Amino acid sequence: MNLFSMYVLETVRGLSINNLELRVPFLDHLKLAFPLPLEFRNIGGVLFLDNAFIWQDGRIKTHYFDQGWPVLDDVKLNFGFGFRTNILFFIIGLDIAWPTDLDKVGSLHINLALGPDF
């Protein structure tokens, strides 16, 4: 199982750049004195819903119905939450995400981002 993944600027947590995101402040200031003097500022949280269209032959089949419920076909969807903070000169983000096709939820994906969000 591949828990950790690395992605380039053109992707969002493994999917194309279609994203609905809510960012909220979480903790303003946290200072640790032991074992190392570390200071965390502006710890924020994020809730997200990402989607992407993946198709072949120039046709997109968005969904089909299984026992009256829609199931995604060529549309990929994931949801999750994450945290953002600044440590020294680095912007660090940790995202926890699950893929879904509206019928079942897939396995957990953890993304660690170093650098600013787009």
Residue-wise pLDDT for 57-91, tens only, equals: 777 677 777 778 777 777 788 899 999 887 777 88
Average pLDDT, the chain: 76
Residue-wise pLDDT for 32-65, tens only, equals: 888 888 777 788 888 988 887 776 777 767 777 7
pLDDT score of 15:
52
Those residues whose C-beta lies under 8 Å from the C-beta of residue 6, and which sit 6 or more positions away, are none
pTM over 0.75: no
Q: Angle 100-101-107 (CA atoms, 0-180°, nearest 5)?
A: 30
pLDDT score of 30:
79
